[in-house]
Amino acid sequence: MPLLALAGATLGALSIRGYAALGPNTEAAVPPILARLDPSLFHKDYCIQEMLRPGPRMFFETLVTSAVHAGIGDVTRVFLVLFVAAYASYIFGLGKLGAVAGSRLAGAFLAFLGLAATKGTIGNIDIIHFINHFEPAIVAMAIGIWGLVACFRERWVLGYALFGIASLFQFLVGFLPGALIAPALLLQAYQKRSAKTAWLPFALFAGGLAATFLPMILAGSTSTDRLSNTDFVYIYAHVRVPHHVLPSAWPDSAWWEIFYFSAAGIPLALASKTLSRAQKSIVFSVIACAALALLVSHMFIDVWPVAIVAKLQLARSTAFSKLVVLLVTAIVAAESIWNKREGLAVPLILAPIAPFSGEFVLHVALATLAVVAVLGDRRPRWVRVTTWIVGGLTLWYFFSFDGHKFAGTAAAREALAGPRFVGGPILLLVVAIPLLVDWLLQWKPSRRYLPWVLASAAALGSVGLGLALRNPPKPYQRFFTRGIALETAPGSPVDRIARRFRDVSPVDAMVIVPPGVAGFQYFSHRAVLVDFKCFAFTDSGIARWRKRLGDLLGMPVSERTSWRGDLDGPFFRRSAADLERIAREYGATHVLTRTGANRGLHGHIILEDRGWVLYQLDLPSD
């Protein structure tokens, strides 16, 4: 894929998705990096200090700090540079994956689907759908996508080596694809009667995984007796991230959605004439192993708690089953065009971005398999006309569909007001057109149409740029008003207090904040007693997180009956004497609270903003 096509697709995607220097996960990722760059920061913050020990984000933080030391810029600029590089690698990798397994046209379709399809996973997880801020998973996926490309080329050693490297930056993004594809690799090793085919890739893969976890084990950060299986599963799955880890917390509709979407991959793979037998075995292996992973999650988290299963977050495997389903969808759509059944490509491409995508994708997949099975390579004219009618009706229904009838809340109606139905095709044009032009230029008969192709691409690019820079129609605004936000200006009252506190406080200050307040560390560069989102993945860090959170709320975080999920309410109801006792125990110097809450604190207000106040404590001697 020429660099110009890659650059066009990347810039097009960035112009729509945008970039924000501050995101939900950035607030937790940046403070440990700042502490590595300046050891005087956060030395009283237990969570940040735990993160400085060998842990799963050690290599990611080392990458960022090395880039800062190399003079690329501060952390914000380094995040942007790495984000753009990872974004380009991801899009390029999607295009290459589609080309390797199918055709260049399939690669263009997959590049679009890999960015636009928002369903097909469970557990509020979507590794392959890039969010618009930087985090470790983006670096890992930018590497892992090339591991998938290598595996579909049957270059197993390279593929598993890349999975091992990806695991250094986000363990699960490297580990899961390697585990899901393993049955296909073992099958090929068996067919070739060659043990070397399997053991060498697995050895390199294990080396990457060990580079992350062996230092943690040697440093006593994990696999200790400080937490039992039950304790860890309860704290992590039931309290900390039930939406990601706890199968019983996922609604029935989500289970049906993932079933429909994953099942669609089987008839599509069977319908493909391009995929080789080895490539189909990879597709089936990923889909089957992802389904097995969900069963294992239910058994060993809901029924019989096992810590390692909770740590692996096996629901993330559905992101890779989604990827192979999108891959076979793109391949069969491209084959439909080559076989003069162009109308079939329309429902195939639109199905994964429809609001009822799972069931719709399965129905379209079964219908496509039926057409291919009945007709084979025959291309009667009536079939071509029929598929065009089907494609036209699909487009009409897609754009005229009234999502409001299916939306139960105002927020849902707003979500259906344009982005899915208008933004999806825009994204297809902006992302796929550079790749489609690249494909056309490789097709000899297209060269006589080159002026028309380039003129059309330029016209569409001009329209897109005009919409981005001017005031676009309302349905388009949500896609063209995100922009590139390089600064991290504090937006909420708490963020503004934190930013001002950085300038008026000593570097060793420690603040008691309501545990549900996130981002105070990020803006203040100061330690906090405990933050619900700041979660160190070490046994001692988790134990200290549980104790501090329980002390602050006045209730133990150890039994299901004691937890009510209300983070800040109990904090605001604590007496001044309780907070002062906690401050003495942990060495806190300041308290952030609501105006009128926790009355009677010994100290004085140094900062306030719209209902929030920050006290500097002046504790009487015992």
Closest alpha carbon to 211 in 163, 248, 176: 163
> Is residue 44 assigned to a domain?
no
Query: Helix 252-271 crosses helix 277-297 at what angle (to 10 degrees)?
Result: 170
Are 248 and 298 part of one and the same domain? yes
| pLDDT given for residue 616 in this prediction | 95
Are 396 and 406 part of one and the same domain? no
> Is residue 478 assigned to a domain?
yes
| pLDDT given for residue 291 in this prediction | 96
Q: Which of 359, 377, 400 is the last residue of a domain?
A: 400
Q: H or E element: which one contains 37?
A: helix 26-37
Q: Could you read off the pLDDT of 556-605 as tens digits, one per residue? A: 886 554 455 678 888 999 999 999 999 999 999 999 999 988 989 999 99
DSSP letters, 207-218, are HHHHHHHHHHHH
Q: Which of 441, 459, 488 is the last residue of a domain?
A: 488
Are 451 and 324 part of one and the same domain? no
* Strand order from edge to edge, sheet including 603-609: 527-528, 510-512, 590-594, 612-617, 603-609
CB 133 within 8 A of CB 449: no
> Is residue 567 assigned to a domain?
yes
> Is residue 18 assigned to a domain?
no
The ranges of the chain with pLDDT < 50 are: 1, 402-424, 462, 466-481, 561-562
Distance between CA atoms of 571 and 379, rounded to whole angstroms? 70
Collect contacts of 614-618 with beta carbons under 8 A, ≥24 apart: 614/497, 614/501, 614/511, 614/590, 615/590, 615/591, 616/589, 616/590, 617/580, 617/583, 617/588, 617/589, 617/590, 617/591
- Bridge partners (DSSP) of residue 592 are 614
Number of folded domains in the chain?
Answer: 3
Are 452 and 509 part of one and the same domain? no
| 3-state class (DSSP) for residue 577 | helix
Distance between CA atoms of 371 and 349, rounded to whole angstroms? 17
pTM of the model: 0.86
> Is residue 8 assigned to a domain?
no
Are 501 and 459 part of one and the same domain? no
Range of the domain at 355: 53-400
- Bridge partners (DSSP) of residue 19 are 484
Are 549 and 473 part of one and the same domain? no
Are 177 and 311 part of one and the same domain? yes
Are 481 and 532 part of one and the same domain? no
Across 11-142, the runs of DSSP E, i.e. the strands, are 19-20
Closest alpha carbon to 10 in 113, 86, 109: 86
Q: Cβ atoms within 10 A of the Cβ of 406, count? A: 12
| pLDDT given for residue 355 in this prediction | 66
Q: Cβ atoms within 10 A of the Cβ of 228, count? A: 11
> Is residue 38 assigned to a domain?
no
Three-class secondary structure assignment of 318-385 = HHHHHHHHHHHHHHHHHHHHHCCCHHHHHHHHHHHHCCCHHHHHHHHHHHHHHHHHHHCCCCCHHHHH
Q: Which of 488, 513, 530 is the last residue of a domain?
A: 488
Instruction: Report how far apart, in Å, the C-alpha atoms of 359 and of each of 260, 267, 373, 428, 567 are.
Output: 5, 14, 21, 22, 38
Beta strands at 603-609 and 612-617: parallel, antiparallel or unpaired: antiparallel
Are 518 and 449 part of one and the same domain? no
DSSP one-letter code for 619: P
Distance between CA atoms of 576 and 573, rounded to whole angstroms? 9
Are 308 and 416 part of one and the same domain? no
Are 375 and 297 part of one and the same domain? yes
> Is residue 16 assigned to a domain?
no
| pLDDT given for residue 565 in this prediction | 61
Are 376 and 419 part of one and the same domain? no
